[in-house]
Chain A
Amino acid sequence: MAISSRYSIISLARNALNYHRDWQVAWRSPEPKPDYDVIIVGGGGHGLATAYYLAKEHGITNVAVIEKGWLGGGNTGRNTTVVRSNYLWDESAHLYEHSLKLWEGLSQDLNFNTMFSQRGLMSLAHNTHELREINRRVNANRLNGIDSEVLTVEQVKAYCPILNCDPKSRYPVMGASLQRRGGIARHDAVAWGYARAADARGIDIIQNCEVTGFRIENGRVRGVETTRGFIGAKKVGCVVAGHASVVAGMAGFRLPIESHPLQALVSEPIKPVLHTVVMSSAVHVYLSQSDKGEIVMGAGIDAFNSYAQRGSPFVVEHLLNALLELFPTFSRLKLMREWGGIVDTCPDASPIIGRTPVEGIYFNCGWGTGGFKATPGSGWVMAYTIANDRPHRLNEPFALDRFVNGYLIDEHGAAGVAH
């Protein structure tokens, strides 16, 4: 039973006149049913998007999303919200571009303002090799129909005047690539928007319910054991990011994944100074200014395996050193918050989306440091894979067996953050 009425300027005006007393909750909190057609483990953006597209594209609505904490409390609420599709290889380019196209209509589709802002994304080159790589990647992007262009130093300076382009600086800027359709979105709104839209189509969202094991009979999944008892399911999609190895262990197989902390931080809010996203792979910094005015910055991963959602301070110090070389104007900026998320890094910096050794269990993991941008596309192909028990052509190359047949999709160059 759908409970949410459509959001519109009329509903906003009506509720404003009524002192906002009648806003309904955005989704129900039902008791779990004894069994479902599909259970999605993990209530982050990717999991909720999977549930939404199962209902919307495939008409499968007897679905539960099971989340051990609260919606979007993991990496969905911890990332730096960068959205782009300028990946090198055809396989990745097609997948991320499909996602970017879904982003472009997402707020209307979900009837929820995801605040998706295509403010452009500039990737800096600090040496000759990087400049060559950027040229190569831009050309590859354009062959795949993805907007991408190379900027000279003068164009970089004109595009982002506060960037230090002094040739004598420690990290001289030699050029950049620019994807104008790239940008940022509001991460919480993505989780909430998908949750509300999935709920409106009859999907149960069950929070504070941790999966503790699988019931597997004759190599086929029958359901999941949870902290709220057994819940039966014909199919189970696991979209648990940093905990992918743990959940795979419950199902009896291993993954080529390591979990690492990835740290990010925001400054105090300031007046608009940075209208675009700037990233530099060489010095490990990527930043943008949120609509609230905070400078949002992300670091490289901490080297060691961890499930602790915190990392070492020297990683942040390294990021800030690089930041101040590139943006000297931020030297008096006060930092407001700093946090870590647990990212599931894959050896080839590409995700794993598809079937597993257990019939009826599907995994979507290994997004590592760059999963947020893929949220709509990831959910879309995952829903297809679960509904049809076979991958869509977009995620076929991203199967787990690529580590056996050697068909790796090396995106370390485009991934932005070293793994």
Chain B
Amino acid sequence: MLLISCPHCGPRAEIEFAYGHEAHIARPTDQEKLTDAEWADYLFMRKNPKGVHYERWVHARGCRRWFNVARHTVTHEILAVYRMGDPPPALDR
């Protein structure tokens, strides 16, 4: 079980949270110009890295606020927790 540090409530067990999948996927702004392939890329294609994954979580059974997490997908180690809207932190791994 992951121990996730909610930026508002502190460290809590994973069961209190819900997963929001890959972070930093911006909705395209020039939508009328987008091709089907570009829509597919935005809607469906994912990085799914074996390594550091930047992802969203929500403290669903707590403060109900969203935040971002940088987590390693092999060790499950949480490397950073940062606010929605902040850029992904530079990590030296």
Contacts and interface: CB of A to CB of B under 8 A. Distances in A.
Nearest to B17: A303
Given A312-B1, A314-B1, A304 B19 contact: yes
Given A246-B50, A305-B53, A305-B73, A258 B44 contact: no
Contacts of A255: 45-46, 48
Nearest to A405: B36
Interface in A390-419: 403-406
B41 interface: yes
Contacts of B49: 245-246
A306 to B, nearest CB: 5
A304 B46 contact: no
> Quick one: which of A245, A255, A307, A308 has the most chain B CB within 10 A?
A307
Interface string B26-49: 000000000011011101111111
Given A255-B48, A307-B50, A404-B40, A314 B14 contact: yes
A305 B44 contact: no
A306 B48 contact: no
Contacts of B15: 312, 314
A258 B55 CA distance: 12
A29 B72 CA distance: 35
Contacts of B39: 404
A258 B19 CA distance: 13
A306 B73 contact: yes
B73 A258 contact: no
A243 B49 CA distance: 9
Interface in A234-289: 243, 245-246, 254-259
A105 interface: no
A314 B15 CA distance: 7
B73 A259 contact: yes
A347 interface: yes
Contacts of A34: none
A254 B53 CA distance: 15
Contact of A257 (B36, B40, B46): B46
A305 B45 contact: no
A304 B45 CA distance: 16
A255 B47 CA distance: 8
A156 B2 CA distance: 39
B48 A258 contact: yes
B71 interface: yes
Contact of A303 (B18, B44, B47, B48): B18
Contacts of B46: 245, 254-258
Nearest to A253: B45
A347 B36 contact: no
Contacts of A406: 36
Contacts of B2: 304, 312
B44 A403 contact: yes
Given A312-B2, A314-B1, A405-B36, A306 B76 contact: yes
B48 A347 contact: no
Nearest to A347: B44
Contacts of B73: 259, 305-308
B36 A258 contact: no
B14 A243 contact: no
23 contacts: A243-B50, A245-B46, A245-B48, A246-B49, A254-B46, A255-B45, A256-B40, A256-B45, A257-B48, A258-B21, A303-B19, A304-B2, A304-B55, A305-B22, A305-B48, A308-B73, A312-B1, A314-B1, A403-B40, A403-B44, A404-B36, A404-B39, A404-B40
Interface of A: 243, 245-246, 254-259, 303-308, 312-314, 347, 403-406
Rank and list the top 6 A-B pairs by shortest CB-CB distance, nearest first. Answer: A256-B44, A303-B19, A245-B48, A254-B45, A312-B1, A404-B40
Given A245-B47, A256-B46, A304-B19, 16 more contacts: A243-B50, A246-B48, A256-B44, A256-B45, A257-B46, A258-B21, A303-B19, A304-B2, A304-B71, A306-B76, A308-B74, A308-B75, A312-B1, A314-B1, A404-B36, A405-B36
